[in-house]
Amino acid sequence: MKAPAEKSFEEKKKIHDKGIEEGAAQLTQEKVHQVVQQMLSAEGGARLKAYIETCSHCGLCSEACHYYLSNDNNPIYSPAGKVKQTIGEIVKKKGKVSVDFIKEACEISFTECNLCRRCVMYCPFGIDVAYMMLFMRRICHKLGVVPQYIQDTAHSHSATLNQMWVKEDEWIDTLQWQEEEAQDEFPDLRIPIEKEGADIFYSVIGPEPKFRAQLIYQMAVIMYASGADWTMPATPGWDNSDMCMYTGDVEMVARLKKVHFETAMRLKNKRIVMGECGHAFRSVHDVGNRFLGWKMAPLPVVHAIEFYYELLRDRKIRIKNKLSQPVTFHDPCNIVRGRGLHEMGRYVINETCKTFIEMHPNREHNFCCAAGGGVINCGPPFRNKRVTGNRVKADQLAEAKKKGAEIVIAPCHNCHGGLEDIIKHYELGMELKFLGDILYEVMEK
Amino acid sequence: MSHIRDWDWNRGKRVISDIHQWRETYGWVEEPHASPDGESVAAIVKVDEMAFSVCENGSPWESSFDKVWFLRYGPDNRAAALVSDTAMWTVAVSGTPWENWFEFVWDTKFGRFDGHISVSAQKDFAYFAVTDDTPWENTFYTISHLKASPSGRSAAATVQTKPINEADIAAFQKGCFTVAVNGQPWTQNFLNAWEIAFDAKEEHVAAEVRLSLEDYTIVVDGIPWKRHYASVWEPVFSPTDGSVTAPVRLADGWALAQDGEIIWKNRYFQLWHHIYSIDGSRIAAIVSSKFGRWTLAIDDKPWNLTFKDLVTDPALSPDGRRAACVGKTDGKWMIAVDGTAWNDTYDMAWPPIFSPDGRNVAAKTQKNGIYRMVVNGRPIQTNYKTLWNPVFSPEGDKLLIRGIETGANDGKYTRTVLSLAEILG
């Protein structure tokens, strides 16, 4: 499928971003050298060196990347090419790069790589390009050159400990409002706030109370119907998401994960069940926990897919009528390549939907939505680049549609954002749903 | 104020109320809460189609409200809850609402010893705190991290003093946040301000702050430490000399700093939640000496015993000679005292509590859905479906156990005083 009215590569490179431009305007050549060299000596250890020196530029990673494929196999979008243009050049020049170079490298590392790690699977040496893009982003953070909208999100995380500038009273009020709404349907339903000793601590990401409060409602009904012993906190720590992980602000990642886990520990809850988000899972399970010194998450963290799987397997939730519209399934990077939840996802779909049509490629080979890795959070300036940079996703969806799929299920908020734009831009006419939407619709309540 | 010495320390068990009966009466009964002295138990109940109240020892408060939440007992054994009436909110203490009403109140904070109460509040989109029904004179764009002083008479919080337009990252990075103490903001703004600490005399306040995107330090009474760090955790005032200590992150690991100078020699992969003994002579902290292994360090000396999953709830005996914590390895929760874990493991364990003489340690535990009190590693053979933390008598020779039992007393909230001699044989 051809993207309508694509801009030339040169035009795309002229995107103006306030965060990048104003950040770079504060920089001097000396500051760049000093920070980059300090980063290379303090944090760019054996792993970075091994990756850079091992890459033989074989190009096998290229066809793994949706940006490369969607931009007519332009090698500047290949994973090895992106490394060469960013951290590779920095290592080669021993940090002596210009301010303009930092601007270019910032745009590449933040908006042309979703850190989806598909390319890692195709590299004969297993080189983790996402690690190197994150290293580049960390340098950008240290230099104060970060795209405006994702930096604003990082500021929100630091000030409110949630992603969306949700104030403390607004959070609690939203829970109480959703409880009241749900009580019109189920008079005994509660959203138990601050229930010490509950088995489950349920956490969500900032956009849920801000824009998608019905998802909290739906999960409350699922918890109610399954007889779960659960709670949500009244204090910051309710948000499991983490855009600081994508801006390179690892100190703030640590702070956010500390608050999240310690809120559950304060309430003495046995495990954390989280909503349908991919990057948050990566943050609590693979990044923030380890930066703090926990080898694994200190409490079990259960993604919503695993939770639904468990409820259906144990017959704690029963299905009234399976969904009749044919569905397809988008495998989110962070919970499929990052956690292997693809078969559980399919179990839930087969339990709740009559007709399941596979998208190809699928499971750990699935193409990214192009929204993850903080790319969608870089905001409107990069929207078109992101959407045209994922034509292969549109092709995948169109193929599933040809086979009859009417609904795309994506159990991740970022994927929802990305796929929504793809469906609209390429005029695919498909409906997009969370797994929870479907479970809520077809379950016995 | 209620003094612990005045509580009923006579040995024996008393049934205070039958929670099963509450459920028969009201239908809607939320989680019960017990008073510190064990004489009262209360829960939010529905008294009418659209009306909620609090049932205390079987009787409802006289007032009912559109909504009631966050019911808790203060140290003076009075129950307080956040209540709403015609879309306005306030605090109700023993059923009596404060005179002032707000658009929202939350984050109830009690003093540690007295019955003073502070809450965060919002009215007309302005944010402030309220202590004992008196709102701060100054209001702010936001409020967070509310902290009460030891007595509860004062409160401090992180406040936003300047507005930030959507995505105005430059304004944010100039600093829009600071700490307000009893409504008076410090003069300097910061990028962020977090955990706040009062000193014992309630004359000084410290907080974690971020000065730039990557510079963190501790601020005391509005004045930042001269040294900056890659990160910091919650500061604590020494109970005796007024100095402030905080974990700080250095290039080679985490260390403990006092008034900006590093005082612990070891470097840790992680170091947090440090606490002082009452006399200020000893400091304990949760540390990770090696990636993925956790323990307690007392005065910079880590225990040999380490846990794989986590360590939480550190405690020092009043004289500082003994230390305890909750630890978790391979999903099993444990209590450890002086570097040795009790024999049993639990599905969940609550903070270990030292007797005033430091000789004994008691903790609430849960296993297979049943709560039991454990003293020095030995379980007391009464099963509970709900249990509160134990309280030692001032002499340390008796233990107060508050819980809703299973078995013969199923559903009954009981208050039991046992002698340590009786427990330990």
Q: With CB atoms and an 8 Å threshold, state whether A149 touches B107.
A: no
Facing B169 at nearest CB: one of A151, A190, A262: A151
Listed residue (A424, A423, A428, A421) closest to A382, CA to CA = A421
Considering only alpha carbons, which residue of chain B is nearest residue A289? B292
- Residue A268 with chain B: CB contacts under 8 Å: 348, 350
Q: In chain A, positions 290-319, which contact chain B (CB-CB < 8 Å)?
A: 292-296, 298-300
Cα–Cα dist B349/B327, whole Å: 9
- Give pLDDT, residue B259: 98
Q: What percent of chain B has pLDDT over 70?
A: 100
- Give pLDDT, residue A45: 84
Q: With CB atoms and an 8 Å threshold, state whether B192 touches A294.
A: no
Q: With CB atoms and an 8 Å threshold, state whether A298 touches B167.
A: no
Considering only alpha carbons, which residue of chain B is nearest residue A294? B292
Does any CB of chain B come closer than 8 Å to the CB of residue A379?
A: yes
Q: In chain A, positions 249-278, which contact chain B (CB-CB < 8 Å)?
A: 249, 251, 254-255, 258, 262, 265, 268, 270
Our separate counts of H helices and E strands in chain A read 25, 7
Q: In chain B, positions 199-218, which contact chain A (CB-CB < 8 Å)?
A: 210, 213-214, 216
Confidence of residue B425 (pLDDT cuts 50, 70, 90): confident
Asked if B185 and B138 count as a contact pair (C-beta separation under 8 A), the reply is: yes
Q: With CB atoms and an 8 Å threshold, state whether A295 touches B69.
A: no
**Number of A–B residue contacts, CB under 8 Å:** 103
- The overall average pLDDT reported for chain B is 97
Cα–Cα dist B303/B340, whole Å: 9
Per-residue pLDDT tens digits for A338-347:
999 999 999 9
Listed residue (B308, B315, B348, B347) closest to B329, CA to CA = B308
- Give pLDDT, residue A292: 97
Facing B310 at nearest CB: one of A176, A249, A298: A298
Min Cα separation A146/chain B (Å): 10
Does any CB of chain A come closer than 8 Å to the CB of residue B141?
A: no
- Residue A300 with chain B: CB contacts under 8 Å: 331
**Which secondary-structure segment (H or E) carries A272?**
strand A271-274
Judge whether residue B269 has pLDDT over 50: yes
Does any CB of chain A come closer than 8 Å to the CB of residue B366?
A: yes
Q: With CB atoms and an 8 Å threshold, state whether B292 touches A194.
A: no
Q: With CB atoms and an 8 Å threshold, state whether B169 touches A155.
A: yes
Considering only alpha carbons, which residue of chain A is nearest residue B192? A159
Facing B214 at nearest CB: one of A19, A142, A194: A142
Cα–Cα dist A220/A193, whole Å: 12
Does any CB of chain A come closer than 8 Å to the CB of residue B144?
A: yes
- Give pLDDT, residue B322: 98
Does any CB of chain A come closer than 8 Å to the CB of residue B269?
A: yes
- Residue A292 with chain B: CB contacts under 8 Å: 270
Who contacts A260 (Cβ-Cβ below 8 Å, separation ≥6)?
A203, A237, A239, A240, A272, A284, A288
Facing B106 at nearest CB: one of A148, A172, A262: A172
Facing A236 at nearest CB: one of B31, B144, B312: B144
| Mean per-residue pLDDT pooled into runs of 10, chain A (445 residues) | 46 81 96 95 91 93 98 96 96 94 97 97 96 98 98 98 98 98 96 98 96 97 98 98 97 98 98 95 93 96 98 98 98 95 98 98 97 97 96 98 98 96 98 98 96
Facing B270 at nearest CB: one of A22, A160, A293: A293
Considering only alpha carbons, which residue of chain B is nearest residue A168? B144
Min Cα separation B369/chain A (Å): 10
Does any CB of chain B come closer than 8 Å to the CB of residue A326?
A: no
Asked if A366 and A336 count as a contact pair (C-beta separation under 8 A), the reply is: yes
- Give pLDDT, residue A13: 61
Question: Which residue do the tokens 């003094």 mark?
Answer: B3
Considering only alpha carbons, which residue of chain B is nearest residue A247? B213
Per-residue pLDDT tens digits for A83-140:
999 999 999 999 999 999 999 999 999 999 999 999 999 999 999 999 999 999 999 9
Q: Is A216 exposed, middle or buried (0-12, 13-18, 19+ CB in 10 A)?
A: buried
Cα–Cα dist B243/B236, whole Å: 8
Q: With CB atoms and an 8 Å threshold, state whether A159 touches B104.
A: no
Q: How many CB atoms neighbour CB B103 within 10 A?
A: 16
Who contacts B37 (Cβ-Cβ below 8 Å, separation ≥6)?
B2, B4, B7, B8, B77, B400
Asked if A336 and A363 count as a contact pair (C-beta separation under 8 A), the reply is: yes
Q: With CB atoms and an 8 Å threshold, state whether A379 touches B142.
A: no
Interstrand relation of B244-250 and B177-181 (parallel, antiparallel or unpaired): unpaired
Question: Which residue do the tokens 């989680």 mark?
Answer: B31
ipTM over 0.95: yes
Does any CB of chain B come closer than 8 Å to the CB of residue A22?
A: yes
Q: With CB atoms and an 8 Å threshold, state whether B348 touches A19.
A: no
Facing A249 at nearest CB: one of B120, B213, B348: B213
- Residue A188 with chain B: CB contacts under 8 Å: 28
Q: With CB atoms and an 8 Å threshold, state whether B310 touches A265.
A: yes
Per-residue pLDDT tens digits for B368-418:
999 999 999 999 999 999 999 999 999 999 999 999 999 999 999 999 999
Cα–Cα dist A338/A331, whole Å: 11
Q: How many CB atoms neighbour CB B369 within 10 A?
A: 11
- Give pLDDT, residue A4: 41
Q: How many CB atoms neighbour CB B200 within 10 A?
A: 16
In this structure, the dihedral spanned by the alpha carbons of residues B83, B84, B90 and B96, taken in order and rounded to 10 degrees, is: -60
Give the global pTM: 0.97
Judge whether residue B171 has pLDDT over 90: yes
Q: With CB atoms and an 8 Å threshold, state whether B106 touches A236.
A: no
Judge whether residue B2 has pLDDT over 70: no
- Give pLDDT, residue A10: 54
Does any CB of chain B come closer than 8 Å to the CB of residue A137?
A: no
